[in-house]
Amino acid sequence: MGVVNVTPDSFSDGGRYLDAGAAVAHGRALLAEGADTLDVGGESTRPSAGPVTAGEELRRVVPVVGGLAEAGARVSVDTSKLAVARAALDAGAVYVNDVTAFRADPGLAGLVAERAAGCCLMHMLGEPRTMQDHPRYDDVVSDVKAFLEARMAFAVAEGVPETAIELDPGIGFGKTVEHNLELLRRLDELVALGRPVVVGVSRKQFLGRITGREVPAERVFATLAANVLALERGAAVFRVHDVAASRDALLVAAATLAG
């Protein structure tokens, strides 16, 4: 899953693809590099990011979703807002990636069901503005697993078929470095829920903390290491900024594991 951020403030590429034409060109490049899905987002979720109105998010996202769907991409929309998701599905998206797992806007579940779309339900502790202020868990893996189970039950009760659901531990969303590592180490416990597990480690801060790399774009090698280990523990979808590098690393890892 290649990331297309149509934002001025995303943590690793904010402002680079705010123009719709530049974002579509970037998405096309990621497709050429081997992305299966493009995840288009118009609101940064980095710690301390400010909120974006539905109108502004729509204005950013819809033309890019339309342009990439026209180019033949399988498009996901990264949003927590019903109006944005609806417009993106109208414009050709087929998947809703909601970092609040339908908590911000419970009506999203009904929309996903009605449109027979796919969805990703992600764990986040608190909300972006405060999520990195001393996050605490009894046991991070058990807590995240129980949360994902409950959100999946909610989605199913709202009419989303279980087969349309993918689950994501939300790496970096209200987690310390050690919480993130523990989730990756024990990812098989989330895979045991029986749905494809999505991981988003790409260029994230915990990788910078381990390697000493301050600049997110310099965390590509670190990203590959984390993704390869996540694959080995059963992850199915890898949300990444660097598609070509990730594709090669994951193909080699997958071929090795298959032997």
Nearest-CA neighbor of 16 among 245, 163, 254, 203?
203
- Is 60 among the residues that bind ligand HH2 (CB under 6 A)? no
Residues forming beta bridges with residue 95, ordered by sequence position: 76, 118
Torsions phi, psi of 78, nearest 5? -95, 95
- Is 179 among the residues that bind ligand HH2 (CB under 6 A)? no
Residue nearest to ligand HH2 (CB): 200
Task: Give least dist CB 49 to ligand HH2, A.
Answer: 6
CA distances (Å), origin 164, targets 95, 151, 245, 254? 9, 13, 28, 24
User: CA 17 to CA 141: how far, in whole Å?
Assistant: 35
The smaller minimum CB distance to ligand HH2, of residues 122 and 249, is found at 122
Task: Give least dist CB 92 to ligand HH2, A.
Answer: 20
User: CA 189 to CA 51: how far, in whole Å?
Assistant: 33
37, 45, 100, 246: which one binds ligand HH2 (CB under 6 A): 45
User: Which residue stretch of 80-88, 155-163, 166-174, 221-229 sits at the interface with ligand HH2 (rule: CB under 6 A)?
Assistant: 166-174
Enter the tokens of residue 247: 């594709």
Active site residues: 204, 239
198, 224, 226, 235: which one binds ligand HH2 (CB under 6 A): 198
4, 6, 12, 111: which one binds ligand HH2 (CB under 6 A): 12
Angle in degrees, CA 65, 31, 240, rounded to 5? 85
- Is 97 among the residues that bind ligand HH2 (CB under 6 A)? yes
- Is 42 among the residues that bind ligand HH2 (CB under 6 A)? no
Enter the tokens of residue 250: 């994951």
26, 60, 151, 239: which one binds ligand HH2 (CB under 6 A): 239
- Is 246 among the residues that bind ligand HH2 (CB under 6 A)? no
Q: Is the dihedral of CA 26, 71, 252, 163 positive or negative?
A: positive
- Is 120 among the residues that bind ligand HH2 (CB under 6 A)? yes
Q: Which residues contact 147 (CB under 8 A, 6 or more apart)?
A: 101, 123
Tell me which residues touch ligand HH2 (CB under 6 A): 3, 5, 7, 10-12, 41, 44-46, 78, 97, 99, 120, 122, 168, 170-171, 198, 200, 239
